[in-house]
């Protein structure tokens, strides 16, 4: 019963929270650039508008993949917020990403093709840091279950500072922010038109956006886990880290894929794996 309520709250709360957060993001970005910026609910207007538009497709099947992408992202977040196994959460997230990439490939547009390839490279880039985060959390709490990690009474970030750093680093990829917004972005980087979403329009584009909200809520939840022992600190730290990502986004240009891959792997290996090795010897 409790799980059902949790799932229900998540199903409706997560897109609301995710949408509001991306609205805040646009507002803050605008303020950082000295602009007024759109209203906070702008992302909701955008999606509602997209629902009213014609849905142009190259192939009808491309929309099918996006529907699966959305379902799997919801599934990922659902597993996470109901306190299930974090490894399963990560696998579901990867599978969702793969469906997004397949959708991009399906459209046969050169722009979305390169976008899809870059999306794959991005997934390769962030995967080590995410897996190491799960391993690190297991080493401290002796459990892979999100519920156990959430209710762990000692502050995780003190045990896993390196892993936290490597995780913050890959947040730019997951939030699709500069410098690692290679496959698509919400800003005016138009070297690939709109990257992986180039050939999606109308309702399907709206679904991608909603999936992105769910994803945002899930990732912020993941960051929250590092500070979960103290709720107040956790909220402040999560929002602080998100703000940091926005500032980085405003400061940097888009990086090349080589740099994305090398730096995120290097940081995951040095800070993340280093953290785990040290943990192993001290806790052992």
Partner 1 sequence: MSFLKKSPWIIHYDGSSCNGCDIEVLACLTPVYDVERLGIINTGNPKHADIFLVTGSVNEQNKEVIQNIYNQMPSPKVVVAVGICACSGGIFAECYNVSGGVDKIIPVDVYVPGCAARPESIIDGVAKSLAILEAKQKKLKSMEDGLEKMEIMMASISDAPEILALQKLAYQSEAEIYNDFSLRPLTQTLAEMKEDFQSKVFLKAVINDTIVGSVRAYMEGDSCHIKRLIVNPIYQNLGIGKKLMAEIENHFSSAKRFEVFTGNKSKRNIYFYHKLGFKEFKCEKVSEKRDRLYFEKIIEVKHD
Would you count residue 250 as binding partner 1 (CB under 8 A)?
A: no
Locate 178 and state its tokens. Answer: 């500069």
State the DSSP code for 238.
H
What lies within 8 Å, CB to CB, of 265 at 6+ separation is 125, 128
Window of 47-55, 138-146, 161-169, 170-178 that interacts with partner 1 by CB under 8 A: 47-55
Q: Is 18 in contact with 214 (CB distance < 8 Å)?
A: yes
CA-CA distance, 211 to 197, in Å (whole number)?
A: 13
Closest distance to partner 1 from the beta carbon of 49 (Å) = 4
Q: Please tell me the number of Cα atoms within 13 Å of 47 on its side-chain side.
A: 18
| Chain mean position to CA 192 | 21
CA-CA distance, 130 to 103, in Å (whole number)?
A: 24
- Which residue from 83, 275, 264, 95 is spatially nearest to 171, judged by alpha carbons? 264
Would you count residue 46 as binding partner 1 (CB under 8 A)?
A: yes
Q: Which is nearer to partner 1, 18 or 162 (by Cβ)?
A: 18
Number of residues counted as binding partner 1 (CB under 8 A): 31
State the DSSP code for 183.
S
Site string for partner 1, 204-223 (x = CB under 8 A): -x------------------
Closest distance to partner 1 from the beta carbon of 216 (Å) = 19
Would you call 153 helix, strand, or coil by DSSP? coil
Closest distance to partner 1 from the beta carbon of 188 (Å) = 6
Window of 45-53, 64-72, 89-97, 222-230 that interacts with partner 1 by CB under 8 A: 45-53
Q: By CB under 8 A, what part of segment 49-78 binds partner 1? A: 49, 51-56
Would you count residue 198 as binding partner 1 (CB under 8 A)?
A: yes
Q: Which is nearer to partner 1, 71 or 193 (by Cβ)?
A: 193
Q: Which residues bind partner 1 (CB under 8 A)?
A: 26, 30, 33-39, 42, 45-46, 48-49, 51-56, 188, 190, 193-194, 197-202, 205
């Amino acid at each position: 019963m409790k799980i059902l309520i949790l799932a229900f709250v998540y199903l409706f709360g997560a897109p609301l929270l995710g949408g509001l957060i991306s609205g805040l993001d646009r507002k803050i970005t605008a303020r950082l650039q000295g602009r007024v910026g759109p209203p906070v609910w702008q992302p909701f207007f955008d999606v509602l508008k997209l629902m009213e538009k014609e849905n142009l497709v190259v192939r009808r099947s491309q929309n099918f993949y996006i529907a699966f992408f959305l379902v799997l992202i919801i599934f990922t977040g659902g597993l996470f917020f109901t306190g299930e196994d974090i490894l399963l959460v990560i696998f579901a997230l990867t599978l969702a990403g793969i469906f997004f990439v397949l959708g991009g490939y399906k459209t046969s547009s050169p722009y979305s093709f390169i976008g899809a390839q870059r999306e794959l490279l991005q997934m390769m880039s962030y995967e080590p840091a995410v897996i190491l985060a799960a391993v690190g959390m297991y080493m401290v709490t002796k459990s892979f279950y999100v519920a156990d990690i959430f209710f762990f009474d000692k502050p995780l970030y003190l045990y896993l500072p390196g892993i936290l750093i490597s995780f913050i680093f890959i947040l730019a990829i997951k939030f699709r922010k500069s410098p690692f917004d290679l496959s698509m972005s919400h800003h005016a980087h138009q070297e690939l038109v709109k990257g992986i979403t180039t050939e999606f329009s109308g309702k399907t584009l709206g679904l991608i956006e909603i999936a992105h909200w769910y994803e945002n809520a899930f990732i912020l939840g993941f960051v929250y886990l590092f500070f979960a022992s103290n709720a107040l600190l956790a909220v402040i730290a999560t929002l602080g880290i998100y703000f940091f990502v926005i500032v980085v986004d405003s400061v940097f240009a888009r990086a090349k894929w080589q740099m994305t891959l090398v730096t995120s792997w290097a940081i995951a290996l040095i800070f993340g794996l280093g953290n785990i090795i040290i943990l192993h010897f001290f806790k052992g």
